Structure 1
Amino acid sequence: MPQPTAAAAAEAELTEAPPDITTMRDAVNRLLDPDAVPEALPPAPGELETLTIQLRGHLDLLMPEVEQAAQRLPKDDIPRYCALACLGEARGKLRAEPSPTPHGSLAYARRLARVLNALCDHYEQLSRR
């Protein structure tokens, strides 16, 4: 089977849709922005589980994008260092488990939301460079 050429790989990269940052931020805001919907209650347990899975999926999609963009920068570049540090933080959050306390699952989902929000910021910043 023939190996893909560099031109084909570059074309495939260009045709891939960029991450949907708006959708990711909407998920983040469901947990972190009570001002957006002040009368909203915390998500129900089933909804929280679905939202947590969604946040994890968003992280799985965005992390390689941020890492690739950061790796293109010079090794001594501060935005590169910050983005890579945030990626390390995100990996740690994904490895962690919610605590067994009554609000442990909500606190865990909020930690995922905060790190996803930070990665969205890094993605946007690195994409402008």
Structure 2
Amino acid sequence: MRAAASWFVGQPTRHESLKIWSKDLTDYLERLIPAVKELAGIGPADDISAMVAMGGVGEAERRLYEPGAAGLRGETERVRRLARSVIALCDHHVNLSGSSNSHDS
């Protein structure tokens, strides 16, 4: 997931590919959000890493519900925000789980 999202962020885009990327990145976030929430809930309530991860989850949830933007430029930026949330949640997942390969596919 992280590799795909990282690749997308650095690429020029075309309108027809944005629909596919939007769906794929949305699917990734829908898998990552509950996984990160679960990991964040395992530790103590004052765990800083868990609190930061939950901030990332909140941001990802807001981005999931952003409406499609007008024009290629606006939609590209919206989908890039989804990609950045995927990258961030992958990092939080690794940090909270101690695993170096979780959701990297």
The answer to whether structure 1 residue 29 and structure 2 residue 6 are counterparts is yes
1:94 aligned to 2:58? no
Cα deviation, residue 31, structure 1: 2.2
Q: 1:105: which partner in 2?
A: 75
Q: 1:1-129 to 2 correspondence within 5 Å?
A: 24-33=1-10, 42-128=12-98
**Aligned-pair CA distance for 1:99:** 2.4
Off by >2 Å, runs of 4+ in structure 1: none
- What are structure 1's unaligned runs of at least 5 residues? 1-23, 35-41
Tell me if structure 1 keeps the 8 A contact 2:15–2:72: no
Listed one character per residue, the Cα deviations across residues 1-54 of structure 1 (whole Å, up to 9, x for unaligned) are: xxxxxxxxxxxxxxxxxxxxxxx11221232235xxxxxxx2221111101100
User: Offset of 1:117 from its aligned partner?
Assistant: 0.6
Structure with larger RCO (C-alpha < 8 A, sep 6+): 2
Shift of 1:98: 2.9
1:114 Cα deviation after fit: 0.7
Q: State the shift of 1:63 in Å.
A: 0.8
SS in 2 for 1:56: helix
* Equivalent residue pairs, number: 99
**Aligned-partner Cα distance in 2 for 1:97–1:120:** 23
Structural RMSD (CA): 1.5
Shift of 1:125: 0.5
Give the unaligned 5+ runs of structure 2: 100-105
Kindly name which structure, 1 or 2, has the bigger radius of gyration based on alpha carbons.
Answer: 1
Separation (CA, whole Å) in 2 of partners of 1:43 and 1:101: 12
Q: Residue 86 of structure 1 contacts residue 115 of structure 1 at CA under 8 Å; is this kept in 2?
A: yes
TM-score normalised to the size of structure 1?
0.71
Q: For the Cα contact (< 8 Å) 1:27–1:51, is it kept in 2?
A: no
User: What is the TM-score normalised by the length of structure 2?
Assistant: 0.86
